[in-house]
Structure 1
């Protein structure tokens, strides 16, 4: 769970360095994609070990970067993460009802 205190800390880090001026939605979306790629890279060539437990410390760091980028992008767009995530979950619950989706990996259009 990301607390309000953590969100404020990420925003304060940015503001203390006067970086808001560089944090346009476009540039933050690019940064988010790059951070996601760094997380994904940890799984590259992982062979049978799809969980990469030995890479957990690096995964923690990269996932933190991804989450921080999400916080910054939401802030730049004037969006509340809690609100938009809950809106999306309501849509997902309608598209993927438990009785149809339980134990299945198909897209909602195939259920």
Structure 2
């Protein structure tokens, strides 16, 4: 069930990333292992932005840090897209398949309002 129609947004970004890397001769460094390591580093930077915030603060992220948050989220998305490309994964199709699996594993009538894993429902 698609609700957002962004035709080829992932593919466009992947092409931009591939060109960016090629122009800098960085493709030689963009193997799956290195990309996973870089992705992990960016997730760590995202963690730092939320570290020590209360739940309320994290839900009302400080306005002065919004741009930093946007940059970290973008870094994560870009590395993820590059990794998917290098691993020959159509990320949009994979997300659609995963959402279908999640809907089957977490039917509304069983999980509504519950924070349980599917095998505990």
| TM-score relative to the length of structure 2 | 0.82
Where does the alignment leave 5 or more consecutive residues of structure 2 unmatched? 1-5
1:59 partnered with 2:69: yes
1:30 partnered with 2:40: no
Q: Which runs of 4+ in 1 moved over 3 A?
A: none
> Is this contact kept in 1: 2:14–2:85, CA < 8 A?
no
| TM-score relative to the length of structure 1 | 0.89
Residue 35 of structure 1 and its aligned partner are, at CA, apart by 0.5
Corresponding residue SS for 2:88: coil
String of CA shifts for 1:70-104, please: whole Å, max 9, x gaps: 01100111111111111211211111112112222
* C-alpha distance in structure 2 between counterparts of 1:13 and 1:38, whole Å: 22
In the comparison of the two structures, how many residue pairs are matched? Answer: 111
* C-alpha distance in structure 2 between counterparts of 1:44 and 1:37, whole Å: 10
RCO higher in structure (CA 8 A, sep ≥6): 2
1:78 partnered with 2:95: no
- Aligned position for 2:13: 6
- Please give the root-mean-square deviation of Cα atoms over the aligned residues, in Å: 1.6
